[in-house]
Amino acid sequence: MYNNSVKLRITLLGIALVTGVTARAGEKSTVTGWVIDSACTYTKNLTKPIGAECAKKCATAGSPLVILADDGIIYLPIDKVLPASSQNRKLIKFAGERVTVRGEVFTHGGSKAIAIEEIQAPK
């Protein structure tokens, strides 16, 4: 018979699968949208940046930059290498501009993240 520890693990795994709590494995994807300050995106409900200087100023002050896709989905840029580091260095030159990003997309709960492999101005 199973001991209590095994029963608990099986139960928790079942709950996680049913409720969608587990993170979905990454899939290669291409996303086009705006590089925008995360705080402004949420607090001001922006659909595009106020301006490049504003986005750069916030990013320099430490606010994470995100990708606000054309379909309205917000992607948190992440580093797959652990310990992870901020992706602002990679994005700051594109702050306030539209980009096309290619990379591995992860879904967890109601959020999405992208491990950027390539970033460029859209064609």
Query: Residue 100 has which token pair?
Result: 């096309």
Phi, psi values for residue 49, rounded to 5° = -65, 150
Q: What is the pTM of this model?
A: 0.77
pLDDT band at 8 (very low <50, low <70, confident <90, very high): very low
Q: Go through the domains of the chain in sequence order and give each one's CATH number.
A: 23-120 (2.40.50)
- Rounded to a whole number of angstroms, the distance between the first and last alpha carbons of the chain is 61
Q: Is 31 exposed, middle or buried (0-12, 13-18, 19+ CB in 10 A)?
A: buried
30-77 pLDDT, tens digit each: 999 999 999 999 999 998 999 999 999 999 999 999 999 999 999 999
Is the separation of the CB atoms in 87 and 59 below 8 Å?
Answer: no
Give yes or no for residue 4 having a pLDDT over 60: no
